């Protein structure tokens, strides 16, 4: 079985048009390491018969029940070998798939448009330490989080996983506006900090700024408000477009100047950047994309219908 998995991994590093070419005698495709490790017929037998769950005892509510033991095992190993880091991010990732399945998604504008969507938690260097496949209303999350919406529930589920291993450490989670909600930033009881963009219709009318007025201001203009009795702050920043941030750990200061290209003036200009924007760009815009890049470079080349 180790040789079987090894061949699958090798097919991402040394891709060939057909899997049988690893065992062919031709000098241009024969792989001596694969041929000596496992017979071709044995490899294909395992590939066509492998399964992870007894079909007579499947969980009917879980659409990924047949591979759930594999997912649980991977999550356990990912978290076991993860280093404790303060800044982590939560985002979605796609596994390409063009066959028929009830959980297959189509997301317009993504590099991978058709496939399975995963919720993933990653470290600063793009190491995935937790993931959960999306399957609509039956997504595997705890009952106490289901009433908060899918995005919010996913972040809280990831937070519980982190707390179960590192009880005394404090983490700072980053996420985009799909996951953000005001209830999500009330994480102080979990000793967690959160920073993310948020949609204006989720602020419940507490915004102090008028978007129409802010659009007319110069680039780099900002406004903010803090919820009384809490450390939750809303910050709106005028860059190319208006962006609203919410955080319980970062605010406006310290300010810094960054170089941006002005389409109107046709040259680079200095724009005032907020501390919350700096932290979000550093920890959200790169982390999950880095893990996606690493996976795409070495994606398994041997595919099956199972």
Residue ranges of domains in the chain? 2-50, 64-168+284-306, 177-279
Q: What is the pLDDT of residue 75?
A: 92
What is the share, in percent, of the chain residues with pLDDT greater than 70?
Answer: 87
| 3-state DSSP assignment of residue 35 | helix
Task: Rounding to the nearest 10 degrees, give the CA dihedral for residues 207, 185, 123, 251.
Answer: 50
> How far is the C-alpha of 202 from the C-alpha of 224, rounded, in Å?
16
Residue 188 predicted with pLDDT over 70: no
- What whole-number distance in Å separates Cα of residue 149 and Cα of residue 151? 6
| pTM of the predicted protein model | 0.80
Is the CB of residue 157 less than 8 Å from the CB of residue 184?
no
What's the pLDDT score for residue 186?
63
Look at residue 268 and tell me whether its pLDDT is greater than 60: yes
Structure tokens at 53: 């769950």
243-268 in b/e form (b: 16+ CB < 10 A) is bbbbbbbbbbeeeeeeeeeeeeeeee
Under a CB-based contact definition with an 8 Å cutoff, are residues 196 and 280 in contact? yes
Quote the CA–CA distance of 98 and 148 in Å, as a whole number: 31
Percentage of the chain lying above the pLDDT 90 cut: 15
d(CA 63, CA 102): 8
Question: CA-CA distance, 131 to 133, in Å (whole number)?
Answer: 7
SS3 181: coil
CA 191/CA 154 separation, integer angstroms? 17
d(CA 283, CA 89): 7
Res. 245: pLDDT tops 80: yes
Length of the chain: 306
What rounded mean pLDDT belongs to the chain?
81
Average the pLDDT over 32-54 and give the result: 92
Tens of pLDDT, residue by residue over 226-241, are 777 777 778 887 777 7
pLDDT at residue 220 in the model = 72
The C-alpha atoms of residue 151 and residue 233 are separated, in whole angstroms, by: 20
| Chain mean position to CA 15 | 26
* Nearest CA among 162, 168, 85 for reference residue 130: 162
Residue 111, both tokens: 């590099």
């Amino acid at each position: 079985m180790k040789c079987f998995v090894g061949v699958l991994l090798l097919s991402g590093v040394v891709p060939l048009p057909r899997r049988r070419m690893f065992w062919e005698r031709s000098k241009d495709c024969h792989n001596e390491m694969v041929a000596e490790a496992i017979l071709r017929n044995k490899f294909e037998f395992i590939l066509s018969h492998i399964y992870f769950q007894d079909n007579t005892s499947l969980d009917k509510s879980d659409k990924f029940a047949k591979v759930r033991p594999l997912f649980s095992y991977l999550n356990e190993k990912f978290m076991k070998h993860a280093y404790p880091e303060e800044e982590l991010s939560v985002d979605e990732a796609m596994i390409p798939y063009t066959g028929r399945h009830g959980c297959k998604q189509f997301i317009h504008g993504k590099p991978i448009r058709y496939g399975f969507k995963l919720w993933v938690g990653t470290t600063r260097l793009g190491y995935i330490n937790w993931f959960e496949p999306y399957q609509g209303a039956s997504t595997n999350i705890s009952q106490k989080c289901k009433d908060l919406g899918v995005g919010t529930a996913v972040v809280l589920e990831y937070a519980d996983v982190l707390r179960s291993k590192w009880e005394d450490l404090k983490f700072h989670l980053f996420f985009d506006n799909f996951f953000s909600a005001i209830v999500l930033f009330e994480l102080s009881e979990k000793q967690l900090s959160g920073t993310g963009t948020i949609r204006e219709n989720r602020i419940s009318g507490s915004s102090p700024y008028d978007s129409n007025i802010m659009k007319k201001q110069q680039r780099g203009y900002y406004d903010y408000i803090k919820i009384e009795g809490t450390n939750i702050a809303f910050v709106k920043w005028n860059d190319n477009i208006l962006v609203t941030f919410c955080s319980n750990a970062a605010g406006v200061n310290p300010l810094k100047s960054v170089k941006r290209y002005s389409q109107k003036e046709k040259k680079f200009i200095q724009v005032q950047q907020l501390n919350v924007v700096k932290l979000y760009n550093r920890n959200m815009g790169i982390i999950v994309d880095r893990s996606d890049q690493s996976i795409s470079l070495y994606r398994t080349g041997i595919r099956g219908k199972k």
